[in-house]
Amino acid sequence: MVERQKNGRCHHIGIIGGTRGMGEWFARFFEKEGYGVHVSGRKTGMNVKDMAERCDVVVVSVPMGATTAVIEEIGPHMRKDALLMDLTSLKRDPVSAMLTSSVSDVIGCHPLFGPQTGSMEGQHVVLCPARGDRWISWLRTILSKHGAHVVETTPDHHDRMMAIVQGLNHFNTVAMGIALSQSGATLSELSLFSTPAFKAKLKIIEKVFCRNPGLYAEIITMNPDIGPFIEMYARIIAEMKNFIHKQDGEGMTDLIEKRADYFKSA
Ligand SMILES: NC(=O)c1ccc[n+]([C@@H]2O[C@H](COP(=O)([O-])OP(=O)(O)OC[C@H]3O[C@@H](n4cnc5c(N)ncnc54)[C@H](OP(=O)(O)O)[C@@H]3O)[C@@H](O)[C@H]2O)c1
């Protein structure tokens, strides 16, 4: 017999995209909490209709490019008393698709850590509550209990922040990685001359290039808010190049010092 949630009590959680990555991480997390967890991927697991019928909470955790289509598939099958949520790195389009395609409660969720992270302790998790109030305290409580810093905001604000924290950041990493690979120096040669700052940067580059390049590519290309930041970045590079051409150390120092106050509160 199908168990139903009463007053936001959850028994079964379905995770579409729970066979790998972030979805698998949350599948293990919810299992450890004692919930019945059902996962699916493209070729395995429960079909969407059964998942929507059986589960009190359905989580969509598929690559960004597939997210809207998957939400539109599951949404119409969701119960009114259930929760539809996602883990997508952008929030505007997935939350809008969840609201349009279902009658259930809707919360957009973005864990600001990856599946290599051991625990939620000290990590940030963004929530965008979008419809209903049956589930928000359940979700807040379970995340906070594991030490997450829960930040609640709108999808628009989230995506603007992610254009900087992820979009601009990973754009910079990809450009640096490509430049290194075209520099003519091998990594083993560079490693003989590595400083701590360079070693730290290499670790980040290795993560972006070798773990899940598609994810980073989607984070950079699919956020409509990223354009102005990349334009600004290109202008800054042009300005910096100018100081190099003129061998103008003073000008470069001045450029850095003018911005130092911004970082002093960090
Ligand atoms: N990785 C991170 O660091 C991270 C952090 C925060 C948020 N996120 C978000 O989490 C989501 C998943 O990212 P990920 O890195 O975990 O991806 P991933 O490692 O590539 O895993 C994707 C999952 O989705 C399934 N899948 C792919 N296409 C599907 C489809 N059309 N229908 C149903 N299932 C499908 C895959 O299952 P099969 O291969 O078995 O089909 C797999 O379980 C993305 O929205 C991403 O923005 C990722």
The string of pLDDT tens digits covering residues 141-175 is 999 999 999 999 999 999 999 999 999 999 999 99
pLDDT score recorded for residue 210: 97
Residue 231: pLDDT over 70: yes
Crossing angle of the two packed helices 249-264 and 227-245, in degrees rounded to 10: 140
Tell me the CA–centroid distance for residue 27 and ligand 1, in Å.
Answer: 12
Asked if 48 and 23 touch (Cβ cutoff 8 Å), the reply is no
Asked if 140 and 85 touch (Cβ cutoff 8 Å), the reply is no
pLDDT score recorded for residue 8: 64
Q: CB of 42 closer than 6 A to ligand 1?
A: yes
Residue 7: pLDDT over 80: no
CA dist., res. 259 & res. 20, Å (int):
42
The arithmetic mean of pLDDT across residues 82-95, rounded, is 98
Mean of the per-residue pLDDT values of the chain = 95
CA dist., res. 6 & res. 1, Å (int):
15
Could you tell which of 20, 37, 48, 49 is best to mutate to test the pocket of ligand 1, judged by most ligand atoms within 8 Å of the CB? Answer: 20
Q: CB of 212 closer than 6 A to ligand 1?
A: yes
The arithmetic mean of pLDDT across residues 54-60, rounded, is 97
Residue 52: pLDDT over 70: yes
Tell me the CA–centroid distance for residue 181 and ligand 1, in Å.
Answer: 28
pLDDT tier for residue 129 given thresholds of 50, 70 and 90? very high
Percent of all residues in the chain with a pLDDT value above 70, rounded to a whole number: 97
Start-to-end C-alpha separation, the chain: 54
Residue 1: pLDDT over 50: no
Q: CB of 145 closer than 6 A to ligand 1?
A: no
Could you tell which of 15, 16, 22 is best to mutate to test the pocket of ligand 1, judged by most ligand atoms within 8 Å of the CB? Answer: 22
Tell me the CA–centroid distance for residue 216 and ligand 1, in Å.
Answer: 12
pLDDT tier for residue 10 given thresholds of 50, 70 and 90? confident
The arithmetic mean of pLDDT across residues 1-29, rounded, is 81
The arithmetic mean of pLDDT across residues 54-78, rounded, is 98
Asked if 78 and 58 touch (Cβ cutoff 8 Å), the reply is yes
Tell the burial category of 150 from Cβ atoms under 10 Å away from its Cβ (0-12, 13-18, 19+). Answer: middle
Residue type, 20: R
Q: Is domain 12-153 classified as CATH 3.40.50.720?
A: yes
- CA dihedral sign of residues 13, 16, 21, 24: positive
